[in-house]
Amino acid sequence: MERIYTTEVPRENGVSVKLAGWVEEIRLLGKLNFVVLRDMKGKAQILVKKGEVDESLINLIKDLTKESVISVEGSVKLNEEAPNGFEIVPEKIEVLNKAEVPLPIDFTGKVNTTPDKRYDWRFLDLRNVRISSIFKIQSEITRSFREFFRNKGFTEFWPPEIIEAAPEGGAELFTVKYFERDAYLAQSPELYKELMTGTNLERVFSIVPVWRAEKHDTTKHLNEIRQMDIEAAFEDQFSILKYLEDVVKYIVKNVLEKYPDEIKVLNPDLKVPDAKYLSYEEVVNVLQGEGFDITFGEDIDPEAEKKLAEIYGKNTLIMIHSWPISLKPFYIMPKDDRLSNGFDVDYGGIEISSGGQRVHLANVLENQLRSKGLNPEDFKFFLDSLKYGIPPHAGWSIGLERLTMVICGLKNIREACLYPRDRNRLVP
């Protein structure tokens, strides 16, 4: 007999079915005994009644433990008082893997378990419906992202993750031994996606892991993250920003439509966001009016990001464009002597994205590299490429875990990562 899920059980007396899953609850009441079986889609109550089933099944469930894996073959018995309006009267119960007791964590939420302990036993943690909902939604975020850009004619590509030099210069790199020399784990697919704009592909996207060897210990930083990147030829900072606005709206719309019950539990105030476009200078003026000690040329700190969310609404994409050149990477195209064609995007009180129009002229890029204290020789492969017809282009990246944080209403980025990697955690 083929296994079905608990949500697929026919509401018809006497129909034979086979279920499989985990033992969530065992109630031994003498003649009337119950086992609640849970699978990925729901739950079903197994009725083990003395006189109705073989005595061996009663003895078997007496020896069961919670979270053991079982399969059950039996017949449907409609009962309005039972969960979902039916029970299964078993003919056969097979224990596929008996769980040891006690469990190392209580994932039900009835007993407080520290985050670190939960991450130690992440696979058990994901048996909590609330926690598993986060990653169902994260999967929908990436699916919607891919769908949106494929529909726009973009091509997915896969850049290398082992590199010779830092594409962003500033952030520290993880060194790896690469045969007879040192190499680095990529901190960004930046330069490779830029080069794709000079090919017949023109417009590309990717979802890739990146690594940053920075000793952060905050609620919004990890040392290994997933980035959702795009790059497109013949675009500027404003046209590429519109893609970002539209894709985030598309993602949130799909999440709300496909996971309404999960969002109701995780983040009931979530709505498809509005967008507010502001220059960096306008934001500085707004923050100064709110009493923040910030002047032109200073970064916007986390407290200021939270204040902007209060002012414009947590369901608003705050598109902060035209940043100072001094605050942007070498590959962002200058607008003039002070400003760049670079931007950041805040959502829900945190920065989820940065990007802009890129430098496509070799002489301009060489000057930018030197102004940032970088050696152009370290970027020779990229500089040489710009000499052979790379068009004006622009792009950005969205941090997958940060976007998941905002959509799911999470307070710590580790909650949005299956197996978080930070300066203290390398296992499991």
- For residue 164, the model assigns a pLDDT of 84
Q: Which CATH architecture has domain 6-97?
A: Beta Barrel (2.40)
Do 355 and 314 meet the contact criterion of CB atoms below 8 Å apart?
no
Query: Which portions of the chain are predicted below pLDDT 70?
Result: 166-171
- For residue 216, the model assigns a pLDDT of 86
- For residue 17, the model assigns a pLDDT of 98
In Å, the largest CA–CA distance within the chain is 88
Distances (CA, A) of 48 to 56, 79, 88, 90: 11, 14, 9, 7
- For residue 109, the model assigns a pLDDT of 85
- Residues in contact with 388: Cβ distance below 8 Å, sequence separation at least 6, in sequence order: 198
Superfamily, domain 124-416: Bira Bifunctional Protein; Domain 2 (3.30.930.10)
Residues in the chain: 428
- For residue 378, the model assigns a pLDDT of 85
The three-class DSSP label of residue 26 is strand
- For residue 169, the model assigns a pLDDT of 55
- Residues in contact with 310: Cβ distance below 8 Å, sequence separation at least 6, in sequence order: none
pLDDT in tens, 165-224: 766 555 589 999 999 999 999 999 999 999 999 999 999 999 999 999 989 889 999 999
- Residues in contact with 123: Cβ distance below 8 Å, sequence separation at least 6, in sequence order: none
Do 358 and 393 meet the contact criterion of CB atoms below 8 Å apart?
yes
Phi-psi region of 109 (alpha: psi -120 to 50; beta: other; left: phi over 0): left
Where are the domains positioned within the chain? 6-97, 124-416
